Chains A and B, each alone.
Chain A
Amino acid sequence: MLLPSFDYYHPQSLPEALSLLGEMGDQARPLAGGTDLLVNLKLKKLAPKVLLDLSGLEELQGNGTDEGLVSLGALNTASRLASGGPEVPGLLAMGAGSLGSPQVRNRATLGGNLVTARPAADICLPLLALGARVVLAGPSGQRQVSLDGYFKGPGYTVKEPGEILTHVLLDAPRPGVGGGYQKLGLRQAMEIALVNVAAHLELEDDGKTVALARVALGAVAPFPMLSPGAAQVLQGAPAGEKIFTEAAEAAAAEARPIDDHRGSAAYRRDMVRTLTLRALRQALSQAQGSKEEQA
């Protein structure tokens, strides 16, 4: 399968990339891992005149922690995130590790997954549950956007064509916090989820009461969505089967699945209930585990 013709630019700094992007407008597309963009070019879904390869931008590389806040560069590959490390929350590592195949994970990037914004995106769901924010750099400076409000539709976000997603910001992993990720597909690799759920739990010092919870649902709305109902049920309640079942019920009620060739809406709604329950159990076990480790 052939690529259409385009010009290729390889800027060496963020200002250079932004200025090229400003000059060329929507004729240009930033290129990160290429696992979506190059496929879309080959399938003739997109025909940009210019590809701006972001791999030379130092500003988009590397991770750091500052005062309890982790900053992850947009060019982190899914493989790098899946291998974890002190800055990467377990929930994000789980999602990144379930994306595509090893070859795809070695190229696909954090920023690419967020900009491509598919409804079942394996990196987007954990980040949404983790309460992440993205940093968008544009001609008039930087802005931060909470992920809850970033997604607008399949492949469509609040990012303007002249902007480049440079970083993701989230709370540093800490004791008493746990995550669960559940992905349902017809096969175990190279799969777009039929339904996927990411759950994030923060426990009070008693190791039992839920201080804060977020449940993110994938493939059941035009974009990755949070379930406010599930969060509300969980907050302030003692973590356990009773409250998890109620939260799963709330998540299923809020999901907005459609019938398609991969599964029916009714089946997807049932699976939201099941996967939410499993993800919450997994999150609790991780949260309590991290608490014991500290003690």
Chain B
Amino acid sequence: MSKQAITLTVNGVARQALVEPNQTLTSLLRDELGLTGTKHGCGVGDCGCCTVILDNETVNSCLVLAMQAQGREVLTIEGLAKGAELHPLQQAFVDAGAIQCGFCTPGMILSAKALLERTPRPSREEITKGLSGNLCRCTGYEKIVEAVQDAADKMSEA
């Protein structure tokens, strides 16, 4: 089966791409659209590095076929900042030192964003549950949890 054309919305912009049936959404974003903020980690849905928001729900983009994104809306880490102004979650991660190597960060922030949309003032337990699909091998998670708490505080004040 040859490549097929698909259309989808990525970070609010309508995009078109030619994709193979066996191409994943991770590959579509990184290789076809040049959005390399989405990381390719384990490839089997364990690490969460490839997390994106598909129609308002977080998914492991390594386990979604590019063709399954036809007509749908994808939000990647590149869609969060407004120009030079970082999203409050991004700023909180920087301020708290929640980023070390940075590989898990895009997925971590998108999972945190989905969590805060459902639960604007999460408890510590709700944060760890909400981020349970994202592995970090550097930070030990403490500063990540702090960053999400800080961002939640700032976003609810605003």
Q: Which residues of A contact B (CB under 8 A)?
A: 1-8, 10, 31, 34-35, 38-39, 42-43, 51, 53, 55, 79, 100-104, 106-107, 188-190
Contact A39:B45 (CB < 8 A) given known A101-B132, A190-B133: yes
Chain B contacts for A31, CB-based, 8 A: 65
What total of chain B residues lie within 8 Å of the partner, measured CB to CB?
31
**Cα separation A189 to B115 with both chains bound (whole Å):** 16
**Within 8 Å of chain A (Cβ to Cβ): is B38?**
no
Query: Are the CB atoms of B59 and A103 closer together than 8 Å?
Result: yes
Chain B residue nearest to A34 in the complex (CB): B63
Chain B contacts for A100, CB-based, 8 A: 45, 133
**Within 8 Å of chain A (Cβ to Cβ): is B33?**
no
Query: Are the CB atoms of A1 and B21 closer together than 8 Å?
Result: no
Chain A contacts for B44, CB-based, 8 A: 1, 39, 42-43
Contact A53:B68 (CB < 8 A) given known A3-B22, A7-B21: yes
Query: Are the CB atoms of A103 and B1 closer together than 8 Å?
Result: no
**Within 8 Å of chain A (Cβ to Cβ): is B120?**
no
Query: Are the CB atoms of B46 and A190 closer together than 8 Å?
Result: yes
> Chain A's interface: helix, strand, loop or mixed, by majority?
loop
B57 to chain A, nearest CB (A): 4
Query: Are the CB atoms of B64 and A106 closer together than 8 Å?
Result: no
What 1/0 flags go to B41-77 for Cβ under 8 Å of A? 0111110100100000111101111011000000000
Contact A103:B64 (CB < 8 A) given known A43-B44, A189-B132: no
Chain A residue nearest to B48 in the complex (CB): A103
Contact A5:B22 (CB < 8 A) given known A39-B44, A107-B63: yes
Among candidates B22, B43, B68, residue contacting A6 with C-beta atoms closer than 8 Å: B22
A85 to chain B, nearest CB (A): 15
Chain A contacts for B129, CB-based, 8 A: 102, 189
Among candidates B45, B64, B133, residue contacting A189 with C-beta atoms closer than 8 Å: B133
B48 to chain A, nearest CB (A): 6
A268 to chain B, nearest CB (A): 24
Query: Are the CB atoms of B132 and A188 closer together than 8 Å?
Result: yes
| Chain A to chain B contacts (Cβ below 8 Å), 28 pairs | A2-B22, A3-B23, A5-B20, A7-B21, A8-B1, A8-B21, A8-B65, A10-B67, A31-B65, A35-B45, A38-B63, A38-B65, A39-B44, A42-B44, A53-B65, A55-B68, A79-B57, A100-B45, A100-B133, A102-B111, A102-B129, A104-B60, A104-B133, A106-B57, A106-B59, A107-B63, A189-B129, A190-B133
A284 to chain B, nearest CB (A): 26
**Cα separation A53 to B129 with both chains bound (whole Å):** 30
Chain B contacts for A5, CB-based, 8 A: 20-22
Most buried by A among B46, B63, B114: B63
Chain A residue nearest to B20 in the complex (CB): A5
Chain B residue nearest to A43 in the complex (CB): B44
* A-B interface, 7 closest residue pairs, ranked by CB to CB distance from nearest: A101-B133, A1-B43, A189-B132, A8-B21, A3-B22, A7-B1, A106-B57
B52 to chain A, nearest CB (A): 9
**Within 8 Å of chain A (Cβ to Cβ): is B79?**
no
**Within 8 Å of chain A (Cβ to Cβ): is B130?**
yes
